[in-house]
């Protein structure tokens, strides 16, 4: 029995090596096929696209340099706050000046209205006085005529 096992072992080993040889050959063919497939793949030329991207990156770089040089980026929140406060103060001063001007104009218009009212009252009073004097003159003349009527007529007549 020892001889059979010894003779069977080389056959089993030979079969295993044959099987391994087949698998290695299959693997070799698969790698060769992949290489052939890879050789057939067309890789597009991205030179133009990469050139455009590089140009865009340079443009963005210039924009960033301009942005860094911008005075707005140099401002701190405290600087912005001070500028806003100064602008607000200036705006309030302009508005206060306009308010005071309007107030002065309103007072001037009110004074003119008061003067016109007084002038109208004065004219009304003058008209009343004139009417009173006219009536007094008429009454006085009529009284004087009644008292002296006959003698004045005889004097001139």
Sign of CA dihedral 137, 138, 139, 145: positive
- Average pLDDT per block of 10 residues along the chain, 157 residues long: 55 88 89 78 84 94 88 81 89 91 94 88 87 93 79 68
Give pLDDT tens digits for 43-88. 788 889 999 999 999 999 999 888 888 887 777 888 888 888 998 8
Domain membership of residue 136 (yes or no) is: yes
Domain membership of residue 68 (yes or no) is: no
Domain membership of residue 112 (yes or no) is: no
| CB atoms inside a 10 Å sphere around CB 75 | 13
Domain count, the chain: 1
Domain membership of residue 132 (yes or no) is: yes
Write the DSSP symbol of residue 125: H
Domain membership of residue 64 (yes or no) is: no
d(CA 90, CA 97): 11
d(CA 118, CA 71): 63
Tell me which residue range forms the domain holding 129: 122-157
Domain membership of residue 157 (yes or no) is: yes
Read off the pTM.
0.34
Domain membership of residue 22 (yes or no) is: no
Write out the two tokens for 143: 């009284």
Domain membership of residue 144 (yes or no) is: yes
């Amino acid at each position: 029995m020892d001889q059979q096992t010894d003779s069977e072992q080389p056959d089993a080993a030979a079969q295993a090596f044959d099987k391994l040889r087949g698998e290695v050959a299959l693997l070799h063919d698969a790698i060769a096929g992949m290489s052939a497939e890879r050789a057939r793949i067309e890789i597009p030329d991205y030179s133009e696209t990469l050139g455009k991207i590089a140009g865009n990156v340079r443009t963005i770089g210039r924009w960033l340099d301009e942005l860094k040089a911008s005075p707005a980026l140099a401002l701190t929140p405290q600087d912005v706050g001070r500028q806003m406060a100064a602008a607000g103060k200036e705006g309030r001063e302009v508005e206060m000046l306009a308010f005071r001007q309007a107030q002065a104009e309103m007072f001037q218009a009110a004074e003119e209205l008061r003067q016109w009212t007084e002038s109208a009252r004065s004219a009304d009073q003058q008209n009343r006085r004139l009417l009173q004097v006219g009536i007094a003159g008429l009454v006085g003349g009529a009284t004087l005529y009644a008292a002296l009527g006959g003698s004045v007529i005889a004097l001139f007549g």
